[in-house]
Structure 1
């Protein structure tokens, strides 16, 4: 391998490591974690981080690009569902699962940090308008409670972000059960349908 090719390979490895560390840091420590700390955890200098991501907005964009695309696909699929109530339920189930698995993205979706708002504002507004359309359609079927508003869906996302579990699988299981509870609460005439299995969470009774 030539020196130039080796340098390109090292640069790719550094970029991938920085992104992995950033995603984990945003999830565990919040979006305002300093670039210097992300660099330290990545085993590189701040200059290396800035070489790949000139601004923190650029780092946010790269770190959450996949989740942003997944979110858009979820809303596309929900709006394409012939049954509006089913589309609404699919949205709740899949959005809560996405946010449970990527807590950094969940925080970015509801964040008021200027650097986050500057980057995500347009896409977040577009997503919320589509959620509102799903709410309207589901109400028209009579299946969704008439008093449900957009803020109720956002509240469900924020509550879901608070799930704490020991593994990715447990977070997903807890999110599925929470989504089922939310869907029952949103329904105009709740039905006693079976809930998904209970997730193992860090709770105890003394």
Structure 2
């Protein structure tokens, strides 16, 4: 007896593999759009703006990333990995003071490369466990790095881990204010701060050139006429 033929697929039917492929394409489009917007505008970008940039509906965005924290975690997980690895590299330096200064410069450079990441390092996201675990790992390593640098006599005894948070907040502000017109200004800030952290007589990294009056003036004008948020 012949086997009955399977009923035809309804109009518009897609195989499950096709649905999975579409879902993955949507996810990658959302992540790429969020990376672009966060990198140039910071974390103040709305979820609706991300959906528009990705070319998907808000419902599609919500299915892939139910919360802002979930999207931020997915976008910045690799950068937080790099943040934690930077501490590991600094601890491996046989010269703790050199490891300390190199770590400060590396982390501030990460901020300068991505405004969204500059924001991530100055905020906390209790619901984003993966991000916060990496932040804790980096913090614990930095505490050890501080102790080693102080033991050499090169890092001031009154330096605390909170001083790094203050620096990252200040650096994020400088990057946001001058990134378009004087993008290397953050290097000058970091150089001055490293000098303030050094104990008397310690060799310090060279100070970067100051921005020109013209570029700072342009940055000040831009601050007075901010671009509208997406």
Range into which the TM-score falls when normalised by the shorter chain: 0.7 to 0.9
Question: TM-score, normalising length from structure 1?
Answer: 0.80
Question: TM-score, normalising length from structure 2?
Answer: 0.72
Pair 1:121 & 2:132 matched: yes
Distance 1:29 1:204, change over 3 A: closer
Residues 5-59 of structure 1, C-alpha deviation per residue, up to 9 Å, x if partnerless?
A: 9877765554333223323444565536442232123221012223433443331
Distance 1:23 1:202, change over 3 A: farther
Q: Could you tell me which residue of structure 2 aligns to residue 56 of structure 1?
A: 68
Unaligned ranges ≥5, structure 2? 1-13, 219-230
Q: Could you tell me which residue of structure 2 aligns to residue 185 of structure 1?
A: 196
Pair 1:154 & 2:168 matched: no
Distance 1:179 1:32, change over 3 A: closer
Q: Could you tell me which residue of structure 2 aligns to residue 31 of structure 1?
A: 43
Pair 1:165 & 2:176 matched: no
Unaligned ranges ≥5, structure 1? none
Task: Count residues with an aligned counterpart.
Answer: 199
Check conservation: 1:18, 1:42, Cα contact below 8 A. yes
- 1:36-185 map, 5 Å: 36-112=48-124, 114-116=126-128, 118-162=129-173, 163=175, 164-166=178-180, 170-171=182-183, 173-185=184-196
Check conservation: 1:85, 1:141, Cα contact below 8 A. yes
Which one has the bigger helix percentage? 1
Residues 65-88 of structure 1, C-alpha deviation per residue, up to 9 Å, x if partnerless?
A: 221121122111101000110110
Check conservation: 2:41, 2:115, Cα contact below 8 A. no
1:120 alignment partner, SS class: helix
Find the structure with the greater CA-based Rg.
Answer: 2
Residues 124-173 of structure 1, C-alpha deviation per residue, up to 9 Å, x if partnerless?
A: 22211111111111111000011111111111111111123217xx53x2
RMSD: 3.0
Residues 100-139 of structure 1, C-alpha deviation per residue, up to 9 Å, x if partnerless?
A: 21221222222245545x5532222221111111111111
Displacement of 1:185 in angstroms is 1.2
Q: Could you tell me which residue of structure 2 aligns to residue 203 of structure 1?
A: 216
